[in-house]
Amino acid sequence: SGFCMASAFQMAFNKEQYYDKVTIPSLLLWGTKDPTHEKTNMTGIDVYFPNGRLVYFEQSSHFPMLEEPDKFLTEILQFYKP
């Protein structure tokens, strides 16, 4: 997923070197209460994905699909909408 890819790149690589090479549509989903990844880690990351969109889940930690399922589903369906 975009979330896992972004996390892996952020931890292992210089983001400016790799993120802008991701040109496919990308949906970045972020639980702001995630204790393992601070919100500041994702702030501004969407500028590195030319066709990306960052969505914050304010009531979620690491599992927004479980903690905010309605919003999660809405965002996924909107992303795949033709």
User: 8-63: per-residue pLDDT in tens?
Assistant: 555 555 656 666 677 888 898 889 888 877 666 667 777 778 888 889 999 999 89
The whole-angstrom separation of Cα 21 and Cα 62 is 26
Q: Which residue has the tokens 């601070």?
A: 38
Q: How do beta strands 26-31 and 52-57 pair?
A: parallel
Taking every pair of Cα atoms in the chain, the longest distance, rounded to a whole number of angstroms, is 35
The whole-angstrom separation of Cα 30 and Cα 20 is 19
Which is higher by pLDDT, 6 or 33?
33
The whole-angstrom separation of Cα 55 and Cα 61 is 13
Q: Is the pTM of this model over 0.85?
A: no
